[in-house]
Structure 1
Amino acid sequence: MLKRLSELMQVKKLIALGLTLVFCIMALREAISSEQFLTVFSLVVAFYFGQSTVRDTKKE
């Protein structure tokens, strides 16, 4: 449990989570359109998971 918590606190993960939270709030307040939200969110998720996959592949 503690290991998973420490993994969650990595800078890249915090940025991805924070950005996701901010854009969710902005979308709910209708400060941005759903299309803008989807574009930014897709980019963040694709980059994050792409980086994770590359790291996992290198470990094996």
Structure 2
Amino acid sequence: MEGRLFDKPLNPNKLLKEQFVSNLTGSSLLEIAALSTVVPALVVLRKWSSRGQFI
């Protein structure tokens, strides 16, 4: 009975997050890595280009 108590996480959302991450395929991880690089770069370029218009 005590072993089952420790099988369940205290935070139920933690189990959902672990299941989501474990279900990601390699291509999805590659897509996430690409987006996490491209999106901030686009934001920086957009701010940089808009700054040039005011000078």
Q: TM-score, normalised by structure 1?
A: 0.43
Q: Who wins on radius of gyration, i.e. which is larger?
A: 2
User: Which has the bigger relative contact order, CA under 8 A and spacing at least 6?
Assistant: 1
